[in-house]
Amino acid sequence: MQIQSLKSLFRDGLAGLLLLVAVGLLAGCGGGAAPAEPGSEEAVPVVAREVEGKVIAEGVIEPARSIELYFDMAGEVTEVLVASGEGVTEGAPLVRLDRRELELSLQSAQQDAIAQKAALDQLIKGASDPVIARADKGNADLVAQAEVGLQIKKLQLEQARTEDPSIDVAIAQARIEQLQLQLAQMEVEPIEADLAVAQSVVDSAQAQLEQLLADPDAQVVEIARLSWELAKNGLWQTQLERDAVAGRSGVPAYQKELAKATVWAAEISASIAQLEHSLAGKGATDEAVRIAQAAVRQAEAQRDRALSAQKAHAISLDILKIQIGEAEELLARATAAQETYDITLEMLAAEVEAGQLELQALQTWDNPYLDEASDEAVTQAEARLRQTELAVAQLELQLQDAELRAPFAGTAVDVRVEVGDQVSPGEVVIVLATLDQLEARTIDLTELDVARVAVEQPVEVSADALPGREFSGVVREIALQGQDYRGDVVYAVTVELTDPDLIEALRWGMTVMVEIEAD
């Protein structure tokens, strides 16, 4: 009962009680230290950790074993085989990453290892007749292929030599010059002048039509009358001259005929002048108007043809400019081809030479299976085999690393990934712990108290969250190195709980009081 009451005092107010006891002890000692003055720095009480043969410390409930599991490689999660709170056995698979590429690489490496082992065995044993024959047959096939390949390369070289792009360059240049000459000729053609002349003809015909349609001009009529008078005077004069010539003797007959013709011409001129005078007074006739209108229409048609010719000329100029641009592009491509032509010939010639050397090497080939394997060849084959075997082992380890397995039986406390997630190296994936094997670990056991603690000492543990309940245990481990805790040096003591039926009531992280039966 005395021990139980001390426990209650410790939980309910042990710090205050021990502070009073400490003050009383200091007062009984004669005052080695003065009491703290009001307003001075707060004194940190020194709590006695031993009560009637017990060492008391604060602790926390932890699993006997816990671990944060993670991958050493990056990848995509393809399988999650455990859920949070689910128990697992030791070695059970928990999470897998995408291993398809690694599995294919492993199969390839295993096949390579098998081939290297076979090659080493064959090298040590020596080649059989069928192997030698197959090697000869294989080399003969390679010789035939090399001959065909060399012939193809020679034909390609000859074909390239007949396709000199300099001809295309010359043709393109001549085409550009021809088009540019046509463009220059069309640019100087008098299209604008032809249109102007046609328009002037239209204007003149229109003016004549308008003049015919207008009323007779008095001045024009008078001019026509006077012209008629002059024509009549001219006729009278020619008649006098005809009569004079006819009355003369010795005048040649042709002169008489000429005089008659002159009179006839004067009569016609007088008739025309009389008609013009008559027409000038009467105005234009319908026939004259129709003729003038026809002249206007003919002039307008001529002008329209000149305008159409101008538009066609402009279109022709644009077409020529486009053709010149296309010809310039062809010239540029031909010029570029010309620049690479020599390089192409050199490359083809080099390929022909390489093909000839390859053919010579194959034709002079010696079957290596006819020779005994040297120590160096065997050593190299063994090294290649070891290299492939190491590659297989490395891929097998990588496949193992792509799968997390439980290192011990326990509970998956926290599963942090889902299928499809991308994980990084070192990223915690699962927290695994033995929740059925809990223990208490002290956090404030000082260096003065740990000296009285030994392994296998009995322990009683009580939790604030579970009042009235006590859990038995024994000291299983004492830390070899101290740590700083609130200015004191403390040592962690691990207590194994020996009441398995009562452990289910505890939870990871609960704070507890640990009472150790000290020596």
First CA to last CA distance, the chain? 21
- Are residues 6 and 77 both part of a single domain? no
Give residue 318's identity as a one-letter amino acid code: D
The Cα–Cα gap between 457 and 475 comes to: 5
Identify which of 24, 16, 20, 15 has the alpha carbon closest to the alpha carbon of residue 49. 15
Dihedral sign, Cα of residue 303, residue 308, residue 312, residue 315? positive
> What b/e readout covers 461-472, taking b as 16+ CB neighbours within 10 angstroms?
bbbeebeeeebe
Q: What is the largest CA-CA distance in the chain?
A: 202
Residues 417 and 456 placed together within one structural domain of the fold = no
Query: Which candidate, 490, 471, 468, places its Cα nearest to that of 479?
Result: 490
For residue 247, give both structure tokens: 């009355």
Enumerate the β-bridge partners of residue 495: 440, 475
Strand pairing partners for 512?
A: 59, 463
Whether residue 16 is found in the same domain as residue 93: no
Other beta carbons within 10 angstroms of residue 326's beta carbon come to: 14
Answer yes or no: do 465 and 505 share one domain.
yes
Tell me the C-alpha distance between 131 and 137, whole Å: 10
Task: Clarify whether residues 37 and 2 are in a common domain.
Answer: yes
**Residues near 129 by beta carbon (within 8 Å), at least 6 away in sequence:** none
Structure tokens at 390: 């190491």
Nearest to 65 by CA among 84, 95, 88: 88
Structure tokens at 116: 């290297």
Residue 509 domain boundaries:
49-64+437-519
Is there a single domain that holds both residue 33 and residue 72?
no
Query: What is the reported pTM?
Result: 0.43
Alpha helices in 214-285 (DSSP H): 218-247, 253-282
Residue keyed to tokens 């065995």: 121
CATH number at residue 412: 2.40.50.100
Residue for token digits 């009235």?
468
User: DSSP for 37-66?
Assistant: PTTSPPPPP----EETTEEEEEEEEEESSE
Could you tell me if residue 90 is inside a domain?
A: yes
**What is residue 160's predicted lDDT score, i.e. its pLDDT?**
81
Output the pLDDT for position 290. 78
Does residue 333 lie within any of the structural domains? no
Question: Which of these, 457, 450, 453, lies nearest to 491 by C-alpha position?
Answer: 450
Interatomic CA distance for residues 18 and 51, integer angstroms: 10
Backbone dihedral angles phi then psi of residue 57, each to the nearest 5 degrees: -145, 160
| Distance from C-alpha of 57 to C-alpha of 460, rounded to nearest angstrom | 11
**In what order do the strands lie in the sheet containing 403-405?**
403-405, 93-97, 75-80, 422-423
Asked, for residue 338, whether it belongs to a domain, the answer is no
Query: Tokens representing 84?
Result: 């949070």
Nearest to 149 by CA among 343, 359, 364: 359
Assess if residue 145 is contained within a domain.
no
- For residue 340, being part of any structural domain is answered with no
Rounded to whole angstroms, the Cα distance separating 15 from 10 reads: 7
pLDDT of residue 235: 85
What local confidence, expressed as pLDDT, does residue 356 receive? 92
Q: What does each of the 519 residues of the chain score in pLDDT, given as a tens digit?
A: 333 333 333 344 333 333 333 333 333 333 333 333 333 333 333 344 455 689 999 999 999 999 999 999 999 999 999 999 999 999 999 999 999 999 999 999 999 999 999 888 877 877 677 877 888 888 899 999 999 999 998 998 888 888 777 787 888 888 888 888 888 877 766 666 667 777 777 787 777 677 666 666 677 777 878 887 888 888 888 888 888 878 777 667 767 777 787 888 788 877 877 777 776 666 666 777 777 778 778 878 877 877 887 788 788 888 988 988 888 888 888 888 777 887 888 888 999 999 999 999 988 888 776 767 778 888 898 999 999 999 999 999 999 999 999 999 999 999 999 999 999 999 999 999 999 889 999 999 999 899 999 999 999 999 989 988 889 999 999 999 999 988 889 999 999 998 877 778 899 999 999 999 987
Tell me, yes or no, whether 411 and 458 share the same domain: no
Does residue 285 belong to any structural domain of this protein?
no
If DSSP codes are grouped into helix, strand and coil, which group holds residue 508? Answer: coil
Give the CATH number of the domain where residue 485 resides: 2.40.30.170
Write down the pLDDT at residue 491. 95
412 part of a folded domain: yes
In a domain, 28, yes or no: yes
Six-digit token pair at 440?
Answer: 């208490």
Q: Are residues 443 and 514 in the same domain?
A: yes
Total domains, the chain: 3
15 plus 54 within the same structural domain? no
Ramachandran assignment for 250, one of left (phi > 0), alpha (psi -120 to 50 degrees), beta (any other):
left
One domain for residues 31 and 74: no
Examine the domain organization and report whether 516 and 468 are in the same domain: yes
Contact 102, 356 (CB under 8 A): no
Of 431, 446, 468, at which residue does a domain stop? 431
**pLDDT at res. 474:** 94
